[in-house]
């Protein structure tokens, strides 16, 4: 609190922060006192971490180091592994000695930038450095899209597209900052194949599938061949018939946004 008071002069604000810290925790219906820490997920943690770690920022600036920090997650960039080891040792000493903080040893490392991730991003290991989406972030994205496009959710196609639209718009607003548009293009193609699978399963019978394909402009012979195909749903989702019947233009008409540049067809 004394450290907070150096930066915050409003006594009402200081009283509110202290109330947060001493409010206690509810466990099994009983309120227990708190000796340290802040409420999990509360708005106080980011405020206090920035007040505490502002001293770290000043120290890094004083040393002339290039760095980026978000809350308690920080990356420092140096020219060699040897320099990294030296800087790591100095920062650990500063954090534990001066700021009385614990360093998470399992998440801390001296390593090439392309092997590390930061806020869902990492770098390409090439001569020209580019931001790319970290593999774990891509995995989480696909898992979420799979959840939203499951037929067992019991929602209509319009509701499914609406939920997907909201998710994709928010995700693109954050990860669209990457410098690898080919990855966004591949994700667009994958999403539309997922949706074609949904439509194909929804049409169920061969007769219905044939009728839907023809109604959407597919040649009758091609429609009959596709409707009677023994191939699986995922294979057929990339077939000429389904690409024509459920084109990118059709999905745009439903309001589905693209993650990268808008597909032509």
Q: How confident is the model at residue 150 (pLDDT cuts 50, 70, 90)?
A: confident
Least confident of 28-42, 101-115, 147-161, 191-205: 28-42
pLDDT at residue 41, rounded to an integer: 74
pLDDT in tens, 67-126: 999 988 899 999 999 999 999 999 999 999 998 888 988 889 999 988 899 999 999 887
| Range 162-172 average pLDDT | 94
What pTM value is reported for the model? Answer: 0.78
Q: Is 90 exceeded by the pLDDT of residue 236? A: yes
pLDDT at residue 35, rounded to an integer: 76
pLDDT in tens, 45-79: 888 888 889 999 999 999 999 999 998 889 999 99
**Cross-strand partners of 133:** 121
Q: Is 90 exceeded by the pLDDT of residue 264? A: no
In the chain, what percentage of residues exceed pLDDT 70?
97
Least confident of 99-113, 126-140, 167-181, 251-265: 251-265
| Range 180-201 average pLDDT | 94
Q: How confident is the model at residue 163 (pLDDT cuts 50, 70, 90)?
A: very high
Of 134 and 30, the structure prediction assigns the larger pLDDT to 134
Whole-angstrom distance, CA of residue 2 vs CA of residue 118: 31
| Range 196-212 average pLDDT | 93
Q: Is 80 exceeded by the pLDDT of residue 147? A: yes
């Amino acid at each position: 609190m004394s450290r907070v008071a150096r930066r915050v002069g409003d006594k009402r604000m200081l009283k509110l922060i202290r109330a947060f810290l001493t409010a206690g925790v509810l466990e099994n219906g009983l309120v227990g006192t708190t000796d340290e820490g802040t409420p999990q997920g509360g708005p106080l943690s980011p405020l206090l971490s920035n007040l505490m770690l502002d001293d770290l920022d000043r120290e890094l600036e004083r040393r002339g180091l290039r760095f980026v920090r978000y809350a308690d997650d920080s990356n420092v960039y140096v020219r060699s592994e040897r320099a990294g080891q030296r800087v790591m040792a100095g920062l650990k000493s500063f954090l534990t000695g001066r700021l009385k903080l614990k360093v998470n040893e399992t998440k801390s490392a001296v390593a090439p930038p392309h092997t590390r991730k930061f806020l869902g991003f990492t770098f390409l290991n090439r001569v020209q450095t580019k931001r790319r989406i970290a593999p774990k972030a891509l995995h989480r994205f696909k898992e979420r899209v799979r959840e939203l496009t499951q037929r067992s959710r019991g929602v209509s196609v319009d509701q499914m597209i609406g939920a997907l639209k909201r998710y994709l718009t928010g995700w693109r607003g954050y990860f669209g900052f990457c410098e690898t548009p080919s990855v966004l293009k591949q994700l667009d193609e994958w999403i539309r194949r997922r949706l074609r699978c949904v439509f194909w399963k929804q049409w169920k019978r061969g007769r219905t599938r044939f009728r839907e394909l023809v109604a959407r402009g597919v040649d009758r012979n091609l429609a009959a061949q596709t409707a009677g195909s023994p191939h699986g749903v995922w294979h057929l989702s990339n077939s000429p018939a389904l690409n024509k019947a459920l084109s990118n233009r059709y999905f745009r008409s439903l309001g589905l946004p693209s993650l990268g540049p808008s597909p032509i067809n």
